[in-house]
Structure 1
Amino acid sequence: MLTLSIKHWREILRGFRCLKISKTTLPVLTYVRVLINIDTVTVTGTDLGQTVTYQLPRTGEMGIGEFLVPIKDLQAALSRRSAKGILGIEAGPEKGTFHIEEDGSVSRIPFATIDAVEFPEPSPLGEQVGGLVVHAVQQLAPALACASQDPTREILNAVRVEPEAVVATDGWRLFHAEGRTGIVEAFSLPASVFLQEFDTTKPVAVYRNDEHVQSMACVQGPWTYRWQVPVGQFPNWSAVVPKHTDAWQAVTFSKDDLHQLTVNLAKLPSLSGKNAPAGLLLRNGEVALWSGDGEERQFHPLAPLSRPEHGQFWTAFNFGYVHQALNWGATRLCLKDALSPLVLRGENREWVVMPLRMEEPQWPATLEKPRLVTREAPTHPRPVRHVARVAKPVVANVAVSEEEPQQAAEELVAEASRVREALKGIVRDLSALMKLGKDVLRERAGLKKEHAALKRSLKQLREINI
């Protein structure tokens, strides 16, 4: 029996969340294989496109062998359990049992399984072709946020790792971080949430297997992540990155500026949506962020320009892309004109955001800063739990104005009215369908009677002798 703490099991399952098995037609892929050897225990899951393996030393009285465990049943067994509890798994060819020890009590949950022979064998690691240095590992998470999620663009569903750069793009924005990565030949990592499992303080070994179907693997600590190399060529991203941006207009943010900007941005109208449009207006050496339409348009003045100039120009962009870059550490914003990309820079990182095409709005004579209400921090804030695994972006708490509850209530009432009217329409349509159905049934009954009468008439005609 394999026995681990519930906390340990949850850490293992978190690594398997990248597997796309919810719509699989192969039942065996909904299981993880537990293989117990003389010295090690290996837990493996796969969706055929990517394979995740977790290895730990064999301890205690674990019997040598292998068995399959359904992922959903294991998740259900771990649900709402104390992290201090213990879960053991004992399984045979067809049946298995979860043994759970928690708060002094023991419970047993049976589950159904299948023969482990049906589980596909992972491909060999192959030859080591280098290793990602710590700097490159730290760029994987922000690059993952910019990779395409469109399944029809397989080449862009990846984070590109080159000898001197880490790159990702979805066609509308591009992320690249320059610096030595530790590998000699470029390759593409799938845009998988598993990349968030890598410890950003340790390097990652990279392997390539050219036998049969070309595959690659990354190994760090107990984790091994394998994937099939996609067919195709990653686009020439360097041709898209603007050159000589030092001559562009630029805004540099301090830490206080970034915090205040993050708080105030979400207060501007139309920025509640992830892909809501926003823009920048430059006028006589000053720059302001704008959002909203018509009379609702508001402005938030930013830091002074690096090269104050007279005149005016504006640009529009996807707010979600820029906000994400700011959360990942962008501190400098560079812009040239309304048709040029927006460039955001952080420490050893750069984001390129393509502008939106739209008609030039009507600008007011003066730019008034919107009145924003901020919320004071509590006297005794709750301690923040720091996770060393991945440094994720932190979004500041946004204050709520006094008008928002009333506005939210009005919107809720309006939405309820719309739903009620829609339901009335559905009821009317259903009533019409029921009436139509009854008419069809009546016509069908009439046709049956006519058909029976015709049969009787035909029978009578056949009985007449001439």
Structure 2
Amino acid sequence: MIRIMKQHLQEALKGLSKVVCTKTSLPILSCVRITTGKESVTVSGTDLDQWMECQVPAEVAEPMDCIVSLEGLREFIDGGDTRNMVCIAAAGKNIRLSMDVAGQSMERSLHAMPMDDWPPSKAQPKTMTPVTKDIFGIMKLAYPSASKDDTRRTLTGICLDKNAVIATDGSQLVKLNFTLPLKEQVILPPTKVLVSGFFKDDGMMGVVMEKKDITHVNFQSGAWRYTLRCIVANYPNFNQVIPKDEDLKNRIVFTAEDISMLEKSVPKIEGYKDDQQGIVMYAGRNGVKFMSRQPSSSVKIDTKAEYKGMETMAAMNRNYVMRALELGFTEFRFCDAYSPFMASGKAGIYVFMPMRNVRDIESCWKKLGITPNKEANMSEKKAETAVAGSKAETQPAAPKTGMQFKPQEQTTPAADTFEELRTAAEGIRQAAKALADSAVIIQRKIADAQRAVKLKEKDYKETRDLIERIRAKAA
């Protein structure tokens, strides 16, 4: 029998619920394993891609190793005084739980799953290196910039590099500075544990190698130990899309007062027709302002930002502006209204693409009563042609939408299985759509033919009836 303070057990189950699936086709994966030590118990759970365990102080009367439902255990200890002690004891093929509630002794039996059904533990790293708790906060900050498109599996994760944590979805990229004990890049999928920044204490980090690839990463933080399966793939060359400092001749520096004001006001700017997230930023002799793309909107958000550069009117996604402010970056630099913007600070950099082919941008100049100079009034097509012409020998022209990545190595990379799968799935989807459209057309033709047959039958019947009436009169 073992006795555990309810508060400690609740905290362990709360963390394990981020890994353990309560709804699964494998009942064993909805359970937790409780293993005793000398003066503690280890509560663990897995979903076969993640393994998580927590050491909990306990009074151990006799050794025990059992597997019980997480939901059943959590339901029994829910509510009441958190200082109460929970007793867990073996009872044949069941586990008996007991606890005092409002002065009354409460008991419940839970079915114990067979020990042989428990998945084997993953191999542990050969060495573990100390890391500070800051790494968990940085990973949490990076994940919102990763792709939400499951067909782009590599970009759904974050990349841990030697000196930074990187995330991108092809239209935005964040690179947060942090020194990691890694010799190679590691891509971590978006798990509930990491996305929520669950770990709060300093700890250790290690990797598991299989052949030449890093397949699993192990973290230790306080009483927790967490292992997860990595995304084994080549991450895009993020350095290629980061603008060079010498190209960023326009610079905006927002004040702390601006940051606080913009965080509240930018989300309230009126959207534009079918583009509710698009807004416009003006930077020039009249300061730095944000406004709606909607010609009928006269709202202009003034800032106290310092600006050095040419007069510019740029359309952008407000979510990217908010993201830069959320990361604490106060300095925005850019080359022109059509090239990547880079927000930066001590923590790192954030790069995002402005909008192109923007309609009604001229109305924004009129709102300010400004006639743009030739350089600012340059059409997008001319701007792209000029940029392409000046950089034709050094790099390819910028893409019309999103960021253009190059492979990290000069050698031809191996084909990405998931990219091939995505392409194949897209081809199947297009073929299925064409087939469905053809089926609709055929159904319409069949319906038309059926209506035509019914009309002919009606005409035939009416004609036959008329002939019968004529014959009857003639007789």
TM-score by length of 2: 0.68
Q: Contact (CA 8 Å) 1:130, 1:207: kept in 2 or not?
A: no
Cα offset, 1:164, TM superposition: 1.5
Which residue pairs with 2:288 in the alignment?
287
Give, as a single letter, the amino acid of the residue that structure 2 aligns with 1:304. A
Q: Who is 2:228 aligned against?
A: 227
Q: Which residue of structure 1 lines up, in the alignment, with residue 300 of structure 2?
A: 299
Q: Tell me, in whole angstroms, the C-alpha distance in 2 between the residues paired with 1:327 and 1:274.
A: 22
State yes or no: 1:207 paired with 2:207: yes
Q: Which residue of 1 aligns with 2:157?
A: 158
1:249 equivalent to 2:254? Answer no
Which residue pairs with 1:407 in the alignment?
none
Q: Deviations over 1:270-325 (max 9, x none)?
A: 49x9983333123435221223623236321223343154x4422222x2333133
Q: Which runs of 5+ in 1 are unaligned?
A: 369-466
**1:338/1:102 CA distance change after superposition, 3 Å:** farther
Query: Secondary structure, in 3 states, of the residue corresponding to 1:266?
Result: helix
Q: How far did 1:137 drift?
A: 4.2
Aligned residue for 1:41?
41
The answer to whether the aligner puts 1:334 opposite 2:336 as a matched pair is no
Query: Structure 1 residues 251 and 218, CA, compared in 2 at 3 Å: closer, same or farther?
Result: same
Distance 2:275 2:77 in 1: 33
Matches within 5 A, 1:80-119: 80-92=79-91, 94-119=93-118
Counterpart of 1:122, as a letter, is S
The verdict on how the C-alpha distance between 1:217 and 1:341 changes in structure 2, with shifts beyond 3 A counting, is same
After superposition, the Cα gap between the structure-2 partners of 1:349 and 1:274, relative to the gap in structure 1 and judged at 3 Å, is farther
Rounded to whole Å, the distance in 1 between the matches of 2:214 and 2:323 is 36
Change (3 A) 1:39 1:106: closer
Per-residue deviation, 1:363: 1.5
**CA-to-partner distance for each residue in 1:63-121, whole Å, 9 max, x for gaps?**
21211121222333344444444434345564334433344443334433422321112
1:205 touches 1:219 (CA, 8 Å); kept in 2? yes
Q: What does residue 259 of structure 2 align with?
A: 258
Query: What's the offset of the Cα at 1:27?
Result: 1.2
1:417-436 equivalences under 5 Å are none
| Aligned position for 2:53 | 53
Change (3 A) 1:300 1:17: farther
Question: CA–CA distance in 2 between the matches of 1:283 and 1:52?
Answer: 53
Q: CA deviation at 1:47?
A: 0.7
Residues 366-381 of structure 1 mapped to structure 2, 5 A cutoff: 366-367=367-368
How far apart are the structure 2 equivalents of 1:94 and 1:250? 70
Report matched runs for 1:306-317 at 5 Å.
Answer: 306-309=307-310, 311-317=311-317
Q: Work out whether residues 33 and 68 of structure 2, in 8 Å CA contact, stay in contact via their aligned partners in 1.
A: yes
Cα deviation, residue 238, structure 1 = 1.0
- 1:65 maps to 64
Please name the residue that 2:459 is paired with: none
The worse-fitting range, judged by mean Cα deviation, of 77-86 and 43-52 is: 77-86
C-alpha contact 2:52 2:227 (8 A) present in aligned 1: yes
Alignment of structure 1 residues 114-193 onto 2, 5 Å: 114-128=113-127, 130-133=129-132, 136-193=135-192
Give the equivalent residue in structure 2 for 1:359.
358
Does the CA-based 8 Å contact 1:67-1:92 persist in structure 2?
no
Change (3 A) 1:277 1:223: same
Cα 1:104–1:20 change in 2 (3 A) is: closer
Q: 1:123 to 1:295 in 2, by over 3 A?
A: same
3-state SS of paired residue (1:233): coil
Which residue in 1 is equivalent to 2:27? 27
User: Aligned with 2:176: secondary structure?
Assistant: strand
1:38 to 1:312, Cα distance in 2 relative to 1, 3 A: closer
What's the CA shift for 1:40? 4.3
